[in-house]
Amino acid sequence: MPVFQVDFANSLVGGGVLKSGSVQEEIQFLMSPELIVARLFTERLGDNECLRITGISGRNAPVLAQDTVTTFPGRDLSTIKQNGTCGKVLLRRLLEMKIVDGSPDAKHVSMCISRDDWKRRYRQIVTLDAVDYKRSPREQYTKGSITRELNKAYVGFSGNPKTAVATGNWGCGAFKGDAKLKALIQLMAAAVCERDLAFFTFRNQEQVSDVKRMHQLLNSKRVSVGESF
């Protein structure tokens, strides 16, 4: 089973992995130490850039906390409409929702990962750096800020093959991002890129309900990505 994971990254890839950092990106890099090499040749990411790494192996077992996964299948092409250069794409109709408590067994996941034509493990990590809004949280609601985050998510989610994206509250910790806004931005980017989305909420059932309602409302009203923007 192909795996495509979002790394909630620092614009300098790896963040504080070689110092005292202990959040998502640093944990990810310590689980797969070969990722640290990327720090040697990756410049600071621009607003329209991401880093995609293929073939990673998980060598260190993390302490896995129980989680809640909300899946948004996104391959129902009958709900996708494009209108010339406007690129209006309908948010996908919600075919089903699945809530999964707990974390998969690491050995089972490793056995299920397929390989690409180059015989690399088809496990990809894409680094997406969010904007730090802790000094001015209101700024994230401006058109410029939303456009920046949409572009960043689109760059990260684009490309082939169109495997599901495993993501969550991107930039919503120390950077004070709005979890609902970031969920909507990622739903929009996944819709345009025709990818399924597995959204990890860390057992926040209230957020699960909020994101479900938002997704269902937009699809019931047949609101396009362009109209949402």
Give catalytic residue positions.
7, 25-26
Q: How many CA atoms lie within 13 A of 14 on its CB side?
A: 17
Contact 166, 126 (CB under 8 A): no
Number of neighbouring beta carbons within 10 Å of residue 193: 20
Q: Which residues contact 49 (CB under 8 A, 6 or more apart)?
A: 155
Q: Which residues contact 46 (CB under 8 A, 6 or more apart)?
A: none
Distances (CA, A) of 101 to 64, 68, 95, 184, 200: 12, 5, 20, 23, 10
Radius of gyration of the chain (CA): 17
